Amino acid sequence: MQGTTTGEPADRARRDELGIMHSITGRMRGFLYRQLNDASYTVVYATPSIETLTGYPASEFVNNAVRTLTSLTEKEDEAYVIDVVRKALAKREPWTIDYRIRRARGSAVWVREVGGGVFAESGELKYLEGLVMEVQGERAAQLASESRLASMTAATNPILADVDEILKTIRTLSILSFNARVEAARAGDAGRGFTVVAAEMKRLADDTDKLAKRISERVRVARHVLATSVSNDRSS
């Protein structure tokens, strides 16, 4: 009877673990990767599920055989991605970043990368590794929220400007009504009618002032609520 080596259970466990990772990343439309910290960021490993997301097989990325991972990044997002990764590596912290990649069929898709550096005991950065997964729907919703906030801000700015003008007019009316009451008091009995008119002007000015301030406050509250919602979407 042929015996088994002590390494077989460990090898089987590693294969099982790798199979689980492949299954999970495939279900979430994402992939795991590891790159060398060299000039070309040479890919040493990528899960097969990279093809599901990008349209390119893993064999085209390993050893940068046909293309690099960085070549997928949308040109407009390259500088941003590089800046975030460099700052995280300098602090030896993980990074989480949203950006767009260009797939094999030419369409762009939003992804979220959670990654970090692997350092040797000497402190040398050896690898960059992480998980990249599609967040197209989530990112689209976030952009829609930001668009709604921008539209609401643009639409309400004139309202707030008009409210400011109304308040200025009300202040003028208040001053005029006060002056009218003074002049009516000086005129004695002949000025009683002006006193009534001045009092009514003051009441209308006060009521309008309260209404204008309520409008202004409600607009600001609505803008704050939407801005807070967008901020929460970004940080979640």
Domains of the chain, by residue range, sit at 7-134, 140-235
Write the CB contacts of 73 (distance below 8 Å, at least 6 apart in sequence).
Answer: 81, 99, 100, 101, 102
Give residue 177's pLDDT: 72
Position 144 confidence tier, pLDDT thresholds 50, 70, 90: low
**How big is the chain, counted in residues?**
236
For the residues 22-27, what does the mean pLDDT come to? 63
Q: Which of 235, 38, 29, 199 is nearest to 131 (CA)?
A: 29
Domain 7-134: CATH superfamily is PAS domain (3.30.450.20)
Position 11 confidence tier, pLDDT thresholds 50, 70, 90: low
CATH for the stretch 140-235: 1.10.287.950
One-letter amino acid identity for 10?
A: A
Write the CB contacts of 193 (distance below 8 Å, at least 6 apart in sequence).
Answer: 184
Mean pLDDT of the chain: 78
Task: Please give the structure tokens belonging to residue 46.
Answer: 């990528």
Q: pTM of the prediction?
A: 0.55
Position 58 confidence tier, pLDDT thresholds 50, 70, 90: very high
- What's the pLDDT tens digit per position in 69-86? 999 999 999 999 999 999
- What's the pLDDT tens digit per position in 163-216? 777 777 777 777 777 776 676 677 666 556 666 666 767 777 777 777 777 777
DSSP code for 40? T
